[in-house]
Amino acid sequence: MSQAPLLVIEGLTFQYRRGVEPALRDVSLRLDPGEILLVAGPSGCGKSTLIRAVNGLIPHSYRGKMAGTVRLAGRATTEVRLRDLAAIVGTVLQDPRRQLVASTVQAELAFGPENLGFPPAQIGSMLTQVAAVAEIGHLLERSVDELSGGEAQLVAVAGALILQPKVLVLDEPLANLDPATARRLLEMVRRLADRGTATIIVEHRVEDVLAVEPDRVAYLEAGQLRYLGDVTGFLEVADPESVKLPFEIVLRQAGAPSPKAVAHPRRTRRSTAGQPGPRLEWRGVDAGYDDHQVLYSVSATLDSQQTASWGPMDLERPPSSRPQSVLCRSPPETYWSTQDPPGGDLWQTW
């Protein structure tokens, strides 16, 4: 026997009080227990408004014209107090420091249960459990002001989970995370989903979220639900200028062949006598995150050209620039050069 959906949205249209047109138009979707829903779309497409409708901030805190219904665990959000909705849906903002209110991590995690009147003994047990789930036990005594961006994000997630919500909403959770912390967060989300927590991930970095294997994708444009279905179908219709898609998908949509790297000697410094020396130089650099090595014996010299790294993070380049050369590692201690950047770990100059 299938379980009842935790979230049901039917014909949701919402226009902010000072808005000139609806931020959402006739959106309908459902979310089942243990399901991961990726919400993607360009800036201003209605993603934030959808989150506010799910967690009850619309209509309780944000006023405007609303049509349609939003039901959490069978109850319409319009009929449930905001404080009671917090026990059903937990939300983590893109900037976690905006929702951290206490001085220490332990006090931060206890804030929600204390305000809902939980007894101290139960709060202590809840703290222990959520610290284990989020793997932040070593941070409990730390000051919130001393947390790194990634640590603050994990603490915010733990704060959203401490009341054991049935639905978890993550707004751009990878925006300020390094690769290791992002991977750790996505692994946690996968574990929670496997235990029955329904999760909504609003994220521009689609290619990174695919690692968590979302069950479905909701693609918004101009406040309307343009696509709702599996990942494969989404990758066929998504606009690569609106969301960050895997590199091979972008190439396929453009009808371009995969770039082929050709062996090329390592670049030598162009400066001569009377010209300035290198601006940046690597000599046998090895680097990585935790147990994941990403640089292997990198040696390179860069002169006064403008430089940037190109790879999974998809760093933006000046629109008028064109790459002159690319150095990449594949395999370790082998260097390649190509006019158009291939996938993988690489270093680019222009």
Nearest 5°: phi and psi at 136? -125, 20
**Candidate from 38-47, 126-135, 277-286, 307-316 with smallest mean pLDDT:** 307-316
Beta 75-76 vs 262-263: how paired, if at all?
A: unpaired
Mean pLDDT of 296-325: 51
**H or E stretch including 339?**
none
CA gap 105, 97 in Å, rounded:
12
pLDDT top residue among 1 and 168: 168
pLDDT of residue 146: 92
**H or E stretch including 7?**
strand 7-16
- pLDDT of 92-110, one tens digit each? 988 888 889 999 999 999 9
pLDDT top residue among 311 and 284: 284
Percent of the chain with pLDDT over 70: 77
pLDDT top residue among 269 and 23: 23
Q: What's the mean pLDDT when you consider all of the chain?
A: 81
Q: Residue 337: pLDDT band by 50, 70, 90 thresholds?
A: very low
- pLDDT of 110-149, one tens digit each? 999 998 889 999 999 999 999 999 999 999 999 999 998 8
Percent of the chain with pLDDT over 90: 52
CA distances from 291 to 62, 179, 288, 294, 344 (A): 45, 12, 7, 10, 18
Residue 201: CB atoms within 10 A of its CB come to: 24
Which single residue is written with the structure tokens 């459990």?
A: 129
With 0-12 / 13-18 / 19 or more C-beta atoms within 10 angstroms meaning exposed / middle / buried, residue 266 is: exposed
Please report the DSSP string for 65-116 in residue order: EEEEEEEETTEEGGGS-HHHHTTTEEEE-SSGGGG--SSBHHHHHHHHHHHT
Q: Is the pLDDT score of 61 beyond 90?
A: yes
Q: Is the pLDDT score of 269 beyond 50?
A: no
| Pair 194, 137: CB distance under 8 Å | no
Q: Is the pLDDT score of 194 beyond 90?
A: yes
Q: Residue 261: pLDDT band by 50, 70, 90 thresholds?
A: very low
Nearest 5°: phi and psi at 134? -85, -5
pLDDT of residue 211: 86
Mean pLDDT of 44-71: 95
CA distances from 161 to 169, 197, 203 (A): 10, 10, 19
| Pair 133, 125: CB distance under 8 Å | no
Q: Residue 218: pLDDT band by 50, 70, 90 thresholds?
A: very high
pLDDT top residue among 306 and 164: 164
The domain at 7-88+165-253 falls in which architecture?
A: 3-Layer(aba) Sandwich (3.40)
Mean pLDDT of 323-342: 40
pLDDT of residue 276: 61
Long-range contact pairs involving 172-176 (C-beta distance under 8 Å, separation at least 24)? 172/94, 172/202, 172/203, 172/204, 173/92, 173/94, 173/201, 173/203, 174/203, 174/205, 174/208, 174/209, 175/94, 175/204, 175/205, 176/94, 176/95, 176/149, 176/150
pLDDT of residue 62: 94
| Pair 169, 90: CB distance under 8 Å | yes
Q: Residue 68: pLDDT band by 50, 70, 90 thresholds?
A: very high
Q: Is the pLDDT score of 76 beyond 60?
A: yes
Q: Where do you find CATH 3.40.50.300 in the chain?
A: 7-88+165-253
Q: Residue 277: pLDDT band by 50, 70, 90 thresholds?
A: low
Q: Residue 28: pLDDT band by 50, 70, 90 thresholds?
A: very high
CA gap 38, 207 in Å, rounded:
11
pLDDT top residue among 317 and 144: 144
List, edge to edge, every strand of the sheet that includes 198-202: 89-92, 167-171, 198-202, 36-40, 216-221, 224-229
Mean pLDDT of 28-37: 96
